[in-house]
Structure 1
Amino acid sequence: MTATHHSTAKLPGPDDVLRQEFANGAVLLSRTNLFSPAVALRGMLPPGALADPPDKIGLAHFMASMLMSGTRIHAFRELNDLVESMGATLVFGGGKVATSFAGQCLREDLPQLLEILLEVLTQPAFPEKQFQRTKMQILTAQAIQAQDTAEVAEQAFDRAIYGSHPYAHPDLGYPNTVQSISREDLQAFHQRFVGPQGLIVAITGGADSEEILQAFAHTLGAWENPSQVSQPPIPPVQPIQATYREHVPLEEKSQSDLVIGTFGPKSTAPDYFASMLGNDILGQFGMMGRIGESVREKAGLAYYASSSLDMGIGPVTWQVTAGVNPENLDQTIALILQELERFTNELVTEDELADVRSELIGRLPLSMESNAGVAQALLNLERFGYGLNYLRELPEKLAAITREDILLAAQRYWHLDRLMITSAGKP
């Protein structure tokens, strides 16, 4: 048995992952690690910001932020004391297409944690005191973001590239839309969209898979919401027609932040892996790849510089970001464009490809050393429809990617005459 085969055999696969679909639409994935006394869970369900009404942008995030604020059975303090008394955690977050949650507990407490999760999802009270506190916290976060050059540049980029698409809006919403949200809005939104259809839960750790299955079947697997409706589908985006440049002035800022980007491949696209390896070479590996080496290390123009490729089922973006002295902004843009021109016209080197491939393959088993890491990986398998063999097949797929594959992916997505360039900082 080769070392690679031996290491991939330890990764989750169809022989040690239980996947169960329930009649109510929920999907459970579980994997047992009997050497662990604890259990981790990761999950997601509709809705996300995609379902926000146009005059209530931020509603999905607001709702997710309040799910641990009390139920019709347990008040805020009682609910959180109950979770803490087990030494457990349970947190929620709002995203573009889903509400996500994460938790952990001792294996013997899993049935109780699932009961609490069901209670929180089905019977939130949205109490007035916590409602007002949460609204103030969101408005405060928005005010802070409005003075953060990186956040302002990113929001300008989203508006520019997505236009009228729902993804153009920040998940937190806007001050005026959040101010308009009422408790009744939260209750109606919850009743309309939150239900077992679209629910995915991944549970890993010391509990036996059959025990997990039984506990889930008696809680989330039995959940019904006859009034649940599907959130709107993800609409298509308009292709970029020409390069767009925008600078958002912020007074008294010593740093400007920059975003240069385009649309990238969905996580289910055939060339996603080639793009992922290419992105690592462009602006991630080592000292942030070619971008970091050129812009930060050699030219000394940036405080940070890197590239990123989003992961998602909707229209994702591929970006280069940098934080610079305002005096260096134009020079930094020019240097990044030089690197992008090289990236889209020349093959990466054999050494570059070998390095990033080795690093990604080596990192894969390390990411599975914790229950939480495995649970997140299982959640992604279901979310993206990868199949249970995906993790074990991934090293072989990465090994098969050529320099030509990376160049073709770069040329497919990066067009230097059609880029979105936004920045924020000193006028």
Structure 2
Amino acid sequence: MLILDAALNGAKGINLWSSPLDANATKSSRLYKALIDKRLATYVNSNLVPTQNPYLYKLTITLPDTFQYQPAEEAIYDELERVKNYGLTSSELSKAKNQWVARAFLDQDTSTKLAHQLGYFESIASYKFLSNLEEKINQVSLDDLRRVAIKYFTNRARTVGWFVPVEKKQSIEVEKLSAEGQLPRSRQSATSLLIRPYHLASPAARFASDATQVSRPKISLSPQRKVLSNGVSIVVAENTTGPTITIRASMKAGAMRDSDEKAGIANFVGQMLEHGNRNKNVYQIAEGFDFLGANLKTDTDYLVTSLTVNGLKKDAETFISLLAEIFQNPSFPQSEVEKVRMERLTELRQEADDTQLVADQILRERIYPPGHPFRRKVEGTVKSVERLKSQDLLSFYMRYYRPDHLTVCVAGDIKPEAVFQLVEKSFGSWSAKGAPDSFSLPSVAPGLGGGEQVVTMKNKSQCDIAFGFPSISIRSPSYYPMLVLNQIFGQAGLGGRLGDRIRDQEGLAYYAYSSFDASLCEGPFVIRAGVNPERVDRTVTVMKEEIEKLKAQGVTEMEVKAAKRYLILSLPIQLESNEGIARTLERIELFQLGNDYLQRYADLIEGVKMDNVLDCARTRLSFDQAALVIAGPYERK
């Protein structure tokens, strides 16, 4: 059944804690071609959970509109019947097996993942299941797959449910309570490239040891860097812990390059990279990665658009060659443009119903001025995405996709010199005319859109609160003291002081924490909480009390020691996987932190003094100039 699922939807892995179980179908899979390619759906996902007793094989499909649910259901039945009647091809079987072998290695590429797998399978069967998984996969035959399909893909065993929304009037109302509020236009993704510590920590992290300094974890990685004659930057960290590799190729063509009129174009162009070039169509590109069991994903944030490949080290040359084709020769075929547009619009409409994301976006629109990149939504708006034309995408690509904007970060069991040669071979002949656009963002100060704003969203059960202001850039001398302060205030344990008071002591919120997103310019410092509508007023009051308490009384020596200890000891966890290493290398390169940053990081944190943290608490937490946004079924009394 695992192999059959891989052919239908793409291998997801069996690590329930870390595998991409919610990922969309791979572009070379049967269900992608049957549903997404034919524009019957924008998202297809399968779920096959290993359990002690028989459980469900579940397919989840998201549709672009309510008229497609019957055709989509029929398309699924047709595909399942085709598998029952004709089985799979030898090529499909080989590809599915390759995916599972690679996925098995990727699901065990950190001690955390491996420990979770061992514990989980010991609880339902035996940890020994993992030791012969590859052998069992390779024993699966075409006859086995058809037999399983005939046995389980039956009408009698099937249950189907559809959620079909009823057309209703706009239910979002905006109440401007003070200052100059802005009407909501879209919401901003809560995720960004910007650096944030882990939200959850061990309860022990709240208490510092008596030692004056933290015991330093050993960071053995020594990244090697090279810049090609055409400007391509390459950073490699050799990691010999397993046979896997991560390649993260990032172009300085993120949402900072958008305009207000063409918001979302950077994200749109990034998504189109996988959808065909002058040499290969979308399926040939997907097949190139899928057949080798590799996972290719594209993401765009404010600064960059990145393509990340996770696979086996033996295929590194093929991966780099395919990435070179994708970056240098996109074709933007009109049929694929419309397919991606439909996917983006469906996602935007879904997200506009999310109270947390709405609150975050309205906050950004209040605290950043018109035209500032951080005011816009990375994915754009429904109106801006609808307006984008193929020529717009091509013009954006021609301006911002160039070798001197590209950084290739590689982590895995491969020598740096070998990577340099492979990248030189595939990217070395790429050239661009003229000077590149600057990689910078305009500075902004707190106080632009202070005050409060309520976005009433009916038919919701929860309110989300976002309270924030533009803070500092990553180049500020206060950056590391602010990391320590934020850890104390809204990160340690289940949300630092905020979580302890709001969530644990008073039971007001489902979650409460602060985030500090320093970037090339002043990123937002935001307090967030999810609460029952009846508890909004009290929660806001407690937030403000904790802010004033922090500014008036400061922090304790023990809190500073505990925060520094956590920040230092959590670095090895971030570097546990090849992808974690590659993302860290990208961050170091983008912010020009230096090749020895990993070795200096503990000193930078340890160098933060009590006075530095107290000064930040009193001068940098500008909540008197902050904006407060409440989204959900709430109205001011």
- Return the TM-score normalized by structure 1: 0.94
2:142 is the alignment partner of 1:142: no
Q: Which residue of 1 aligns with 2:217?
A: 7
Cα offsets for 1:76-124 (capped at 9, x unmatched): 1111011111122222212212212211222221111111111111111
Give me the CA root mean square deviation: 1.9
C-alpha change, 1:291 and 1:59, in structure 2 (3 Å) is same
In the alignment, which of 34, 53, 59 is matched to residue 265 of structure 2? Answer: 59
Q: Which residue of 1 aligns with 2:548?
A: 341
Identity value in percent: 28
Which of 1 and 2 has greater Rg? 2
On the 8 A contact 1:11/1:365 being kept in 2, the answer is no
2:395 is the alignment partner of 1:188: yes
Question: Deviation of residue 187 (structure 1)?
Answer: 1.3
SS at match of 1:218: helix
SS at match of 1:237: coil
On the 8 A contact 1:90/1:104 being kept in 2, the answer is yes
Partners in 2 of 1:355 and 1:382 — Cα distance? 29
Partners in 2 of 1:272 and 1:191 — Cα distance? 35
SS at match of 2:230: coil
The alignment covers a number of residue pairs equal to 421
Q: Which residue of 2 aligns with 1:369?
A: 576
2:412 is the alignment partner of 1:205: yes
Amino acid at match of 2:388: I
Partners in 1 of 2:338 and 2:271 — Cα distance? 12
Amino acid at match of 1:141: E
C-alpha change, 1:239 and 1:353, in structure 2 (3 Å) is closer
Amino acid at match of 1:194: Y
Question: Deviation of residue 163 (structure 1)?
Answer: 2.2
Partners in 2 of 1:239 and 1:351 — Cα distance? 30
Amino acid at match of 1:267: I
Q: Which residue of 2 aligns with 1:96?
A: 302
On the 8 A contact 1:38/1:107 being kept in 2, the answer is yes
On the 8 A contact 1:42/1:202 being kept in 2, the answer is yes
Cα offsets for 1:43-88 (capped at 9, x unmatched): 3212121222332111111111111111111111111011111122
On the 8 A contact 1:192/1:228 being kept in 2, the answer is no
Question: Deviation of residue 295 (structure 1)?
Answer: 0.6
Partners in 2 of 1:193 and 1:311 — Cα distance? 24
In the alignment, which of 581, 594, 605 is matched to residue 398 of structure 1? Answer: 605
SS at match of 1:253: coil
SS at match of 1:34: coil
Question: Deviation of residue 230 (structure 1)?
Answer: 1.6
Q: Which residue of 1 aligns with 2:632?
A: 425
On the 8 A contact 1:194/1:228 being kept in 2, the answer is no
Partners in 2 of 1:134 and 1:5 — Cα distance? 49
Partners in 2 of 1:350 and 1:306 — Cα distance? 21
Partners in 1 of 2:439 and 2:601 — Cα distance? 32
Question: Deviation of residue 313 (structure 1)?
Answer: 1.5
Give unpaired runs (5+ residues) of structure 1.
Answer: none
Amino acid at match of 1:230: D
Q: Which residue of 2 aligns with 1:26?
A: 232
Cα offsets for 1:213-232 (capped at 9, x unmatched): 10011122332132674267
C-alpha change, 1:139 and 1:167, in structure 2 (3 Å) is same
C-alpha change, 1:319 and 1:6, in structure 2 (3 Å) is closer
TM alignment of 1:6-405, pairs within 5 A: 7-8=217-218, 10-12=219-221, 16-164=222-370, 165-226=372-433, 229-230=436-437, 233-240=440-447, 243-405=450-612
Partners in 2 of 1:336 and 1:326 — Cα distance? 16
C-alpha change, 1:350 and 1:335, in structure 2 (3 Å) is same
Greater alpha carbon shift after TM alignment, 156-165 vs 400-409? 400-409
Question: Deviation of residue 170 (structure 1)?
Answer: 0.6
Amino acid at match of 1:11: S
On the 8 A contact 1:301/1:324 being kept in 2, the answer is yes
Q: Which residue of 1 aligns with 2:153?
A: none
Partners in 1 of 2:429 and 2:484 — Cα distance? 42
Question: Deviation of residue 415 (structure 1)?
Answer: 2.5
Cα offsets for 1:150-171 (capped at 9, x unmatched): 0110010000000212221111
On the 8 A contact 1:39/1:206 being kept in 2, the answer is yes
Question: Deviation of residue 6 (structure 1)?
Answer: 7.1
Cα offsets for 1:368-411 (capped at 9, x unmatched): 22222222222211111111222112212222222221111122
Partners in 2 of 1:339 and 1:7 — Cα distance? 33
SS at match of 1:236: coil
Partners in 2 of 1:112 and 1:232 — Cα distance? 30
- Return the TM-score normalized by structure 2: 0.64
C-alpha change, 1:228 and 1:185, in structure 2 (3 Å) is farther
Partners in 2 of 1:103 and 1:412 — Cα distance? 43
C-alpha change, 1:5 and 1:246, in structure 2 (3 Å) is closer
Partners in 1 of 2:238 and 2:448 — Cα distance? 50
